[in-house]
Amino acid sequence: MPQETMTHATLGFVPGRRWLVGHALKMRKDAFSVMDSARSCGDIAVVWLGPKPAYVISHPALIRQLLAAEDRSLDKGPLYENLAQLIGVSIGTLTGHPHRVRRRMIAPAYAPNDEIISTVAFEVASSWRPGHLYDMVEEMRRLSFTVMARTLFTDAITADSEAEFVQLLPVALTGIAKYMADPTGVLKRIPTADNRRVNHALTRLQQIIDDGVSTYRSAGAGAGGIVAALTDARDPQTGQPLSAEQIRNEAMVLMSAGSETVAGVLSHACSIMAHDPAIAEQLHAEVDHALVDLPMNPGKIPQLEYAKRVIHEILRLFPSGALMSRRATVEINLGGHRIPPGAALFFCPYLLHRRVDLFDDPDRFDPDRWLPERAQRIPHGAFVPFGAGPHICLGDKIAWSESTTAIATISRLWNLQPAAKRAPRLILAPTLNLDAVPVTVEPRHPAQSPI
């Protein structure tokens, strides 16, 4: 471990521990009530997953210390343990030297394809009909899954395969989320109809990726896509390419990490546009002022300062990666407390980003706290929606480009009116999203309506 940066962290115990199960059932049913209880327990909050203690960390210095730690004293922990079994070894599960080599090799595949992003954002937003009701959670999933399908394969994917891909991806992701959260590892082995559907989706997606690799190798189709970039990747030291299995695993983990996370940010954005007219008005004013034409020219992204502040604020209050995990492989000292080997550690950006000692009026949604003069007062390490250290998100540029473009495209075309009495409910599965955001859409510029 690197030098300790904090020696006197406060530690408390989350109330409501049940005999045998501890907080495990409650975590499964309503992780946010457990996290809200953890919020007042201190820098380190102890929860019980069955008979074992787990540690929820929300102090920035401790989080920085752990995220920056070499992988000698920590592995990736419970959230990732089942991932390797499900989709094989990949950047999502590797640690130490093999992780560093793989990361260098595949980083070029993570460049955003802005043209595909703006085309898909326009296709989705212009498919809506005035006065109709849409669930923005579903629509934003459709948007991000389509971006994913097209950026993986570019011209090598047919409309039919793309439709199949967009239909299979949520089934596979639901399974991955369920199995990742299963500490016993047995759920995926039970032959239920649900499991069969998930296994079919995973196998079929892997076949589509393998086909993409073959097509690229034989005909060069799909050049510029992520699958092609993974096929072209070389180990900087040995010059070796990735094997077919490694390409498949990397494409699978990229899809898993990159679709639901962005969809979650966009669902929140739509919910805010629908429920907070003042914010919607400022977004409208900005896209009108920047003369955003559609499909949006990616060159306009730097002008969309307010949209970026809204996204920052969504990432602060509703970070898609609300919980990250590690497991201590040896005894470690954390803020003056002994953490035994084998203990699970959860870093909680959701709690960190709501600390009253780091953010003024932390529960308030206030995009202007990201104005340069105010943002510089936010302490270093207080905002880590993309993690930090050797495992910091590889897809942050894709996430920024896709979120900004989609929000600008929707704001350019539509007023979103809330269509439900109750506010959307937060869900964690395992990324943060909303249960539903029903809205009706009204065109902002009827004369220029794309319909």
| Preceding peptide of 430 cis, ω within 30° | yes
Residue type, 185: G
Interface residue with ligand HEM, options 180, 254, 351, 358 (CB under 6 A): 254
Q: Does 292 bind ligand HEM (CB under 6 A)?
A: no
Distances (CA, A) of 366 to 72, 183, 315, 369, 375: 40, 37, 12, 6, 12
What's the min distance (Å) between Cβ of 441 and ligand HEM? 24
Contact segment (CB under 6 A) with ligand HEM among 239-247, 356-364, 395-403, 407-415 equals: 395-403
Residues across the chain = 451
Contact 271, 422 (CB under 8 A): no
Cα dist from 267 to 153, 261, 273, 402, whole Å: 25, 10, 10, 13
Residues 445 and 142: beta-carbon distance below 8 Å? no
Give, in degrees to the nearest 5, the angle at Cα 249 between 247 and 250. Answer: 65
Q: Which is nearer to ligand HEM, 301 or 393 (CB)?
A: 393
Span of 113-121, 135-143, 239-247, 391-399 interacting with ligand HEM by CB under 6 A? 391-399
Would you count residue 140 as binding ligand HEM (CB under 6 A)? Answer: no
Instruction: Name the residue with the smallest CB distance to ligand HEM.
Output: 395
| Residue 78 · residue 181 · CB < 8 Å | no
Q: Which residue number, 128 or 139, has a Cβ lying nearer to ligand HEM?
A: 139
Q: Of residues 321, 335, 367, 424, which one binds ligand HEM by CB under 6 A?
A: 321
Residue closer to ligand HEM by CB (options 75, 442) is: 75
Judged by CB, which is closer to ligand HEM: 352, or 394? Answer: 394
Contact flag: residue 109 with ligand HEM (CB under 6 A):
no
- By the rule CB under 6 A, 78 interacts with ligand HEM: no
- Binding segment (CB under 6 A) for ligand HEM, from list 53-61, 315-323, 373-381, 408-416: 315-323
Q: Provide the minimum distance between the beta carbon of 325 and ligand HEM in the complex, in angstroms, as a whole number.
A: 7
Contact region for ligand HEM (CB under 6 A) — 53-61, 131-139, 383-391, 436-444?
383-391
261 makes contact with ligand HEM (CB under 6 A): yes
The label of the residue with tokens 């072209």 reads 232
Residue number with CB closer to ligand HEM (34 or 399):
399
Q: Which of 57, 202, 324, 339 binds ligand HEM (CB under 6 A)?
A: 324
Instruction: At 399, give phi and psi (nearest 5°).
Output: -60, -45
Among 26, 141, 391, 412, binds ligand HEM (CB under 6 A): 391
Question: Looking at 271-279, 282-290, 291-299, 317-325, which segment touches ligand HEM (CB under 6 A)?
Answer: 317-325
Alpha carbons 258 and 398: distance in angstroms, whole number: 8
Nearer to ligand HEM, 332 or 441 (CB): 332
Is-cis flag, bond preceding 295, omega within 30? yes
- Of 48, 122, 386, 414, which one interacts with ligand HEM (CB under 6 A)? 386
Pairing of strands 344-347, 324-328: antiparallel
Does 83 sit near ligand HEM (CB under 6 A)?
A: no
Three-class secondary structure of residue 441 per DSSP: strand
Phi, psi of 135 (to 5 degrees): -95, 115
Segment (H or E) for 60:
helix 60-68
State the nearest-atom distance from the C-beta of 148 to ligand HEM, in Å.
7
Instruction: Pick the binder of ligand HEM from 45, 62, 173, 398 (CB under 6 A).
Output: 398
- Footprint on residues 169-208 left by ligand HEM (CB under 6 A): none
Of 229 and 290, the one with the shorter C-beta distance to ligand HEM is 229
Single out the residue of 241, 252, 266, 297 nearest to residue 152, CA to CA.
252
Residue nearer to ligand HEM on the CB measure, 115 or 442: 115
| Residue 372: partners with Cβ closer than 8 Å, 6 or more residues away | none
What's at 74, amino acid-wise? L
* 345: three-class secondary structure by DSSP: strand
Binding status of residue 355 toward ligand HEM by CB under 6 A? no
Q: Closest by alpha carbon to 120, among 290, 302, 262, 319?
A: 262
Residue 70's closest CA among 3, 117, 118, 16? 3
Determine which residue in the list 42, 395, 424, 430 makes contact with ligand HEM, applying CB under 6 A: 395
Closest CA to 163 of 173, 143, 176, 149: 149
Footprint of ligand HEM (CB under 6 A):
91-92, 103, 110, 253-254, 257-258, 261-262, 265, 319-321, 324, 385-387, 391, 393-395, 398-399
